[in-house]
Each structure stands twice: as C-alpha cells, then as structure tokens.
C-alpha cells in the first residue's frame, strides 16, 4: 500500500468493506425509476462522434425490442434523427458488456452491499455465441432471446432468486482457474445455486445455454466494490472504467462524476480460426470495471487456460507484478490486490476482453488484453 495517498487509501478501505450480494432481478425501468424517455444505455463514456458499427447494430436491435420502431429502417431513422438518444450506462449505476445496449424493458440483475444497501446493475446475460447481441452483429436470434427474457424468463428468474453473497463465488472462481473476466468457468458452476428449485423448463434451458451468465454478476459486483470508494476528496482510486469502441473512459474517486477520456486501444491476443486478418474494435464494454477492481488481466497467473496469451502480451501479466498498480490485498480473495491507483509504478496494466470485429459483421474474433490508455 506504500505510495498511495491517505485519501486514496480511504477509498480502498471503503472498497474492502463492501459485501456484495446478488439481490434482485427486474426490468431496468423498475430498478432505476425516472429514466429519460426514449434513451438507450451503452458501455463506456459518452460518444463524441459516430457510433462504431457494432454499437449501432445493437442500438437498432434494442430500439426494435423496445417497440420504438417497427422496422430496421425506422429504427435507423429514430437513431439518426435523435428521436432515440444514447447515454452511458455507468452514469445511472449500470454496467453492460461489450456492445450490448439496453433500454427500460431489458431485464437486469442487481448486486447490493449487505451493509449499506448501495446497488449496481447489469443486464441479464444475452446468451451464447454466435447470436448474442453483445457481439454487435444485431442478429435476429439474439433479439429473439432478449425478447424471451422480457416475456417470461426474466420474471421467472426473479421469482426464484435466492439472495447470494458473491465474495465466496469470486474466491471459488479464482481457486478453480478463473481470472474472472476472460475465463469464468469455475464461477459459472455456482450459478444454478443462485435460484430455487422451481424454475420453469425454459428458464433452466436459458441458464444452461447462457454459459457466461456469471460474468454479468461479476461486473455488477466489481462496479459496486470500486464505486464504494467514490466521493473521497483528493482520492485517486479508479471508481469507473469502460470503453465504447472508440474511447476508453474512467472516473476517479475524488471526482466521481467526471469521465477522463483517452483513445481506446485495441485488444492484443490470439484470433479465432478464419479471423487472422479481422481487425478488433478498440476496447469496448463496461466489463473493464472487473480489471479496475484487480481481477481480469491482473489475474492471468491464476488462469492456466489463458496461458496462450503469453505469446502476445507482456510476460509481467503472468506474475505478481500484474498487481503493481493496485493498492492492497483483499482478505476474501487470496493473492489478489484490489483498488486501481494510476499513480503507482507498474510493469503492465490492461483489460482482458473479447475481441469484437469492428465491421459489425464478424462477432467474436478472438480474446486478448487491451492496454490501459496512457
């Protein structure tokens, strides 16, 4: 902890005090009352120019989902005219993965602090590859799954949810070979225990198919934990972090309402078959909060399945030096340091990400680490 200021250490202590609990599932509009009309919520800081193709595809899909247009052409007109607006999800306490965009009817999960009641939200996972909307292709099958969540599965999950402490889930994930961002298999094994025995068959099938359901839970827990450090004057701990496919933005605890924005870097890593020449979109997604907590790219040494990244990224990511930028240990997460302090000397710093093809047609093209924007 040497090197962080007293104010930053105060934010770190607040982070350590959080006891995240998966506590609620409901439509976004019920969880966050008073949403502005005809507004969609996206990952990252506000857009300063045109949307990248994957974000535009997702926005059009959700406009159709919300019933704000009847055809893709009408949806495109509503977006281009400003009849439908876009706003950063983290500004209303929501974290959304990759290119997934949400409106008021989208079902979300809530993670709350058992001590204070503070809460952060994330949309329910939008299903498996290749159709999921978070990959920015806008595929009809992805829209159909989103509708199934809104039309019944979401309410069934909500009715059967068992409030679940999440620090033990994170610890089990790390012990089972997860970095808790690029690999979540061990933590995912805990998901069925989040719900009682009365789930309908279609809900059971959804949980089986949505094999990264837990990732959205981890995102909300990470956002809650780092966000607890906000509001300490002079604190330099990062309390929000995300990319929008063009820019990477973050917020500091001492100024939690101000986005600090830099050009986003493209993820560096291996490509999937057939995508050797495909270009990944620059860093995208609010899942960067996971890495700002101290998981993800800083925990690659816990995840043998991700060892292939050694051929692409600095070897320091696979050593304890990957946590140089973080303030101190977390008693519930052995071996992990938490709380990102950008003033600390560091060997490496990045965000573990799925690579989304920038054309909006390729979907997932690989996995890698997006270097922190300097």
CATH number at 319 reads: 3.90.1700.10
Does residue 229 share a domain with residue 144?
Answer: no
Whether residue 58 lies inside any domain: the answer is yes
Query: For 7-16, how does the pLDDT look when each residue is reduced to its tens digit (9 = 90+)?
Result: 999 999 999 9
Q: Taking 70 as the threshold, does the pLDDT of residue 342 lie above it? A: yes
Does residue 201 share a domain with residue 83?
Answer: yes
DSSP conformational letter for 246: S
CATH of the domain at 118: 1.10.10.660
Q: How many domains does the chain have?
A: 2
Q: Which two tokens stand for residue 75?
A: 């949806």
Angle between helices 140-148 and 201-209 (to 10 degrees): 130
- The mean pLDDT value for 157-174 works out to 98
- The mean pLDDT value for 46-74 works out to 97
Q: Residue 3 — very low, low, confident or very high, per pLDDT cuts 50/70/90?
A: confident
Does residue 68 share a domain with residue 140?
Answer: yes
Query: What is this structure's pTM?
Result: 0.98
Whether residue 330 lies inside any domain: the answer is yes
Query: For 89-105, how does the pLDDT look when each residue is reduced to its tens digit (9 = 90+)?
Result: 999 999 999 999 999 99
Widest pairwise Cα distance in the chain = 58
Q: Taking 80 as the threshold, does the pLDDT of residue 2 lie above it? A: no
Q: What per-residue confidence (pLDDT) applies to 220?
A: 99
Whether residue 119 lies inside any domain: the answer is yes
Domain range for residue 202? Answer: 21-164+184-220
- The mean pLDDT value for 81-89 works out to 98
Q: Residue 367 — very low, low, confident or very high, per pLDDT cuts 50/70/90?
A: very high
Does residue 231 share a domain with residue 216?
Answer: no
Whether residue 257 lies inside any domain: the answer is yes
Does residue 207 share a domain with residue 88?
Answer: yes
Q: How far is residue 349's CA from residue 327's CA, in Å, rounded to a whole number?
A: 14
Does residue 366 share a domain with residue 299?
Answer: yes
Contact 300, 306 (CB under 8 A): yes
Does residue 194 share a domain with residue 124?
Answer: yes
**Could you write out the DSSP letters of every residue in 178-211?**
--SSS--HHHHTTGGGGB-TT--HHHHHHHHH-T
Q: Which phi and psi angles does 121 have, rounded to 5°?
A: -125, 155
Query: For 192-241, how does the pLDDT look when each residue is reduced to its tens digit (9 = 90+)?
Result: 999 999 999 999 999 999 999 999 999 999 999 999 999 999 999 999 99
Q: How far is residue 39's CA from residue 37's CA, in Å, rounded to a whole number?
A: 6
Q: What per-residue confidence (pLDDT) applies to 314?
A: 96
Q: How far is residue 320's CA from residue 349's CA, in Å, rounded to a whole number?
A: 12
Q: Residue 63 — very low, low, confident or very high, per pLDDT cuts 50/70/90?
A: very high
Whether residue 208 lies inside any domain: the answer is yes
Q: What per-residue confidence (pLDDT) applies to 169?
A: 98
Whether residue 215 lies inside any domain: the answer is yes
Share of the chain above pLDDT 90, in %: 99
- The mean pLDDT value for 46-54 works out to 96
Q: Which two tokens stand for residue 117?
A: 């009641």
Whether residue 335 lies inside any domain: the answer is yes
The 10 Å Cβ neighbour count of residue 167 is 17
Average pLDDT along the chain? 97
Q: Taking 80 as the threshold, does the pLDDT of residue 256 lie above it? A: yes
- Beta strand 85-88 with 39-42 is parallel
Q: Which phi and psi angles does 88 have, rounded to 5°?
A: -65, 130
Q: Taking 90 as the threshold, does the pLDDT of residue 19 lie above it? A: yes
Whether residue 8 lies inside any domain: the answer is no
Examine the fold and report which residue of 173, 203, 220 is the final residue of a domain before the chain moves on.
220
Does residue 216 share a domain with residue 77?
Answer: yes
Q: What per-residue confidence (pLDDT) applies to 83?
A: 98
Q: What per-residue confidence (pLDDT) applies to 1?
A: 63
Does residue 234 share a domain with residue 159?
Answer: no
Does residue 237 share a domain with residue 134?
Answer: no
Looking at the DSSP bridge assignments, the partners of residue 85 are 39
Does residue 70 share a domain with residue 25?
Answer: yes
Does residue 212 share a domain with residue 198?
Answer: yes
Q: Residue 374 — very low, low, confident or very high, per pLDDT cuts 50/70/90?
A: confident
* CA distances in angstroms from 116 to 18, 119, 187, 265, listed in the order given: 8, 9, 25, 36
Q: Which two tokens stand for residue 231?
A: 């509001």
């Amino acid at each position: 902890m040497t090197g962080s200021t007293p104010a930053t250490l105060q934010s770190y202590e607040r982070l350590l005090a959080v006891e995240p609990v998966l506590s609620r599932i409901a439509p976004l509009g019920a969880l966050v009352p008073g949403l502005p009309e005809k507004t969609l919520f996206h990952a990252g800081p506000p857009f300063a120019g045109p949307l990248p193709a994957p974000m535009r595809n997702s926005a059009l899909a959700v406009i159709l989902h919300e019933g704000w247009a009847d055809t893709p052409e009408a949806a495109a007109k509503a977006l281009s005219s400003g009849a439908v607006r876009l706003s950063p999800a983290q500004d209303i306490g929501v974290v959304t993965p990759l290119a997934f965009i949400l409106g008021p009817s989208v079902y979300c999960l809530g993670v709350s602090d058992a001590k204070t009641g503070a809460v952060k939200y994330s949309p329910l996972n939008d299903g498996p590859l290749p159709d999921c909307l978070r990959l920015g292709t806008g595929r009809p099958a992805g829209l159909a799954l989103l509708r199934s969540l809104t039309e019944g599965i979401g309410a069934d999950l909500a009715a059967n949810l068992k409030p679940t402490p999440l620090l033990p889930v994170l610890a089990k994930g790390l012990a089972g070979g997860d970095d808790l961002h690029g690999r979540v298999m061990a933590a995912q094994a805990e998901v069925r225990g989040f719900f009682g025995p009365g789930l309908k068959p279609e809900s059971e099938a959804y949980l089986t198919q949505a094999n990264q359901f837990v990732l959205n839970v981890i995102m909300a827990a990470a956002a809650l934990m780092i966000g607890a450090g906000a509001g300490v004057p002079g604190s330099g701990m990062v309390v929000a972090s995300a990319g929008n496919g063009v820019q990477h933005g973050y917020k500091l605890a001492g100024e939690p309402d101000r986005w600090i924005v830099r050009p986003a870097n493209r993820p560096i890593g291996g490509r999937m078959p057939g995508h050797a020449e495909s270009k990944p979109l620059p860093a995208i997604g609010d899942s960067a909060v996971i890495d700002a907590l101290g998981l993800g790219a800083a925990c690659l040494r816990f995840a043998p399945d991700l060892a292939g990244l050694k051929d692409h990224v600095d070897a320091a990511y696979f050593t304890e030096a990957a946590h140089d930028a973080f303030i101190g240990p977390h008693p519930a997460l052995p071996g992990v340091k938490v709380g990102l302090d950008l003033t600390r000397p560091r060997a490496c710093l990045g965000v573990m990400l799925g690579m989304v093809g920038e054309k909006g047609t390729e979907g997932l093209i690989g996995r890698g680490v997006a270097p922190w924007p300097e």
